[in-house]
Structure 1
């Protein structure tokens, strides 16, 4: 070891200047988007979140939300600055305990500049203090915060987090959550996961929820209002918490008759998709005027409109199927939406078989035969529909039709092995349509590129020979009889109206 002589003046300068690691010296801003071609500004680059701790206070009468978000992350590159997706007013940001400067840009970007650059691979703690009225905030001309007569609800796809907590808002960055919400006594706060505790003091009650398994940010939900909360346990031992607004009126009975079957349906779906993947289960029906339902993790959101014509168990099947297909295994990019919606629709077809109201084959035959070749329905490509058609009916119905074609091609044994093995292979991660095709080929031992191209990517109705090869009905003077379940399944089409 060699020691050199250091001049006294140089030594003084060395003590005055903070040491900047060589890697951090070349730090640059993180990208304002995670790289999804459908939504270039969604998510952010340069870091990966592991946990969100959200401590909130909400006043239902004014719709005012105050919050402190503590975000635990790790950098994936040297960062001089990074972004969060957020819309409310920010009062303070701290990074690793030190105050950071911040500004806003674009439609929903919060730009944070830490006191010192962040090195690649380092753990980072970000604290954001904020407040605002979510229902007054819009981005791109819309809101994902739904005001109700007694509170508010955050639920939408592909974005909902911006209105109530800062995040890296893309399914590629999953995290665990603690959500603690202070509300006036007599009001309930519903979120994902398990209810850890409730505590009341001086007219306010704090509800503490925990999501212990990784969750995409759009699947995080918050509903505050006056709810009737029911509890139970599935046959497999999963605790169930359901919640219904107390002012659902004529929709109340039908909503309960549907959502109270959640445990039964989850146990039934596990026969096809493998064990239920979470430690909590349920659903909630707030008094909103939206038309859609959403697979918010462990506790799906249902609009009262879903039950306008009576009980609607099929929509519960759809949203619970997403707990495996969409939540446990999430899209790699939003172009892979078929991985979510085609499978959830096919689960409804399997439920129809279970109920003796039409087989999946009969439903596939009906979809194919009921739409002529010049119907614009066939121009939508479920495997890559484009952002404008992400929730088009074809992604659901043609998407399920593609699965029936796959089932006929590889046989029931391989098909159901794929349905059960896929969520296990990519559990708590992300995957693409191409990944699914490769997995199906691996399990079945058959080349499937041509089948996937025909049913998922060609912007045209598959030809009669292709339909015959997939054992799907071709156009004929005697069209297949409409299965008994079709009207019930079609009644769930409101789930598309995001």
Structure 2
């Protein structure tokens, strides 16, 4: 072998070594194969929400908040897996200022365009590679006003703040892939001034007092969670603990001003969960509970995972039954897109009808007839809300529940209750859409139900007869 051959061979060996190193580190050789991930998942109602090219598996959020100045300091460590060769990828983030970003330890270029945060890593990321992005950010989080006039995102309270995210508000307090189809586990660590508590989803795994007197709490959610179900409550709270199902911790909290008047119903949460388990199957999470706020803090109840949030004015038995039922329907089985919102609300509403049937001598048939008589329930088909502001409209709840009752009337109680428990078992900790549901129901029923879907789920206007 001559000298030139040895040089060529050596150069080839170096090139192969560099290629191997690039592949090992997740890089894409030559920088030509990778493409930017999509900026938005083309959701029918929020086309720019979420991002393509990767799947998040875990969020580790480290936050610090002082109500005195309203400033949030955050560090989001996002573990994800590339679903294509990536030259860049996007995250959803509203308002806050990004100070630095890294991908797999190397500084990444950052660009902002509205609520779209684009990260361009130093080395491109290969399809299938697990990577870690770390974003450091700060600022005063925003309150987001929805199309229907309700407020979400970061809600300031008299002594702290409340962070809620349905449908888009989670982007107000941490960067992420904020579409319900991308679920992940969470660790949320929050530092607040002395005298305040920081409550979030899941199980409290650590709590300590800092040298400066502030308090740090860490909350762990091991089961997959859609980002709109993540919550954070900062303020003064009276808390109570219990267990359910022998081992699942139940933590409830209430603003001290309303702690006494809410204590009795908060104590009934294990009892209500027991009843729901009998009807809906095994409880899907490792923690449970509730947080109750004064009415001027939040204007609606929300099924935040493991720990729903209630305003005092909505903290009643029916609403508790509804929001806890969401732990099966909406939280464990989450909507594949916001068009599938009726799957969340129909089951939770029907849970109220079932509870009234079992404990309040009100047959579900009577609730069905009452809903049928409500003209507002017929404004649009529940599976096809016309605009984003209709996502929480009466048809999604009431007509959606009527769809379930018509299934019950058609297939009989035995198969219907099989569907109630089987649906959240089949799609446990996953996402599903309307076609998944109709296909599943027909598989259990053993028959085609297209006539039922055509009239009750997709039909325009009210049927002439209640049995059509």
- TM-score by structure 1 length? 0.86
Q: 1:313 matched to which residue of 2?
A: 317
Alpha-carbon contact 1:24-1:79 (below 8 Å) kept: no
Which of 361, 364, 368 pairs up with 1:364? 368
| Contact persistence 1:159–1:218 (CA under 8 A) | yes
Aligned pair partner of 2:177 in 168, 171, 183: 168
The alignment partner of 1:92 has SS state of: strand
Contact 1:64 1:131 in 2 (8 A): yes
Report how far residue 10 of structure 1 moved: 9.3
Corresponding residue of 2:25: none
CA RMSD of aligned residues (A): 2.4
Alignment of 1:21-100 (within 5 A): 21-22=28-29, 25-87=32-94, 88-100=96-108
Q: C-alpha separation between the residues in 2 aligned to 1:104 and 1:357? A: 57
Q: Which residue of 2 aligns with 1:237?
A: 247
1:329 correspondence with 2:318: no
Cα distance change, pair 432–105 in 1 and its aligned pair in 2 (3 A): same
Q: Distance in 1 between matches of 2:245 and 2:140?
A: 42
Alpha-carbon spacing, 1:411–1:139, altered in 2? closer, same or farther (3 Å): closer
1:258 aligns with 2:265: yes
Distance 1:239 1:7 in 2: 67
Distance 1:236 1:450, change over 3 A: farther
Partner of 1:55: helix, strand, or coil? strand
Distance 1:12 1:26, change over 3 A: closer
Change (3 A) 1:213 1:419: same
How far apart, in 1, do the equivalents of 2:35 and 2:336 lie?
26
Q: Distance in 2 between matches of 1:66 and 1:392?
A: 36
Q: Does structure 2 retain, via aligned residues, the 8 Å contact 1:283–1:299?
A: yes
1:399 Cα deviation from its structure 2 partner:
0.9
**Which of the numbers 184, 196, 204 marks the counterpart of 2:214?**
204
1:119 aligns with 2:126: yes
Shift of 1:319: 0.4
Are the structure 2 counterparts of residues 139 and 352 from structure 1 closer, same or farther at C-alpha, using a change threshold of 3 Å?
closer
Q: How big is the shift at 1:83?
A: 0.5
Please report how far the alpha carbon of residue 388 of structure 1 lies from its aligned counterpart in structure 2 after TM superposition: 2.8
Cα gap change, 1:135 to 1:305, in 2 (>3 Å): farther
**CA–CA distance in structure 2, aligned partners of residues 359 and 139 of structure 1:** 36
Q: Is the alpha carbon distance of 1:36 and 1:218 closer, same or farther for their aligned partners in structure 2, counting shifts above 3 Å?
A: same
SS in 2 for 1:5: helix
Deviation at 1:4, TM superposition (A): 8.7
Distance change in 2, residues 1:8/1:457 (3 Å): closer
Match of 2:113 among 99, 105, 110: 105
CA contact (8 A) 1:135 1:147 kept: no
Paired residue for 2:160, among 138, 142, 151?
151
Match of 2:347 in 1: 343
CA contact (8 A) 2:382 2:400 kept: yes
* CA distance in 1 between partners of 2:309 and 2:399 (Å): 24
**Structure 1 residue 8, shift from structure 2 partner:** 7.0
Is the CA contact (8 Å cut-off) linking 1:80 and 1:114 kept in structure 2? Answer: yes
Task: Flag the 1:157–1:148 CA change in 2: closer, same or farther, 3 A.
Answer: same
CA–CA separation in structure 2 for the residues paired with 1:253 and 1:397: 33
Preserved contact between residue 95 and residue 125 of structure 1 (Cα < 8 Å): yes
Residue 453 of structure 1 corresponds to which residue in structure 2?
454
5+ residue gaps, structure 2, are: 23-27
SS in structure 1 of the partner of residue 416 of structure 2: helix
Note if contact 1:24-1:118 (Cα within 8 Å) is conserved in structure 2. Answer: no
Q: Check the 8 A contact 1:284/1:299 in 2, yes or no.
A: yes
Distance 2:124 2:146 in 1: 30
Q: Give the Cα separation in 2 of the matches to 1:138 and 1:468.
A: 40
Tell me the CA shift for residue 14 of structure 1.
6.1
Residues 417-445 of structure 1 show CA distances to partners (whole Å, capped at 9, x for unaligned) of 01111111111111111111111111111
Aligned length: 453
1:228 partnered with 2:238? yes
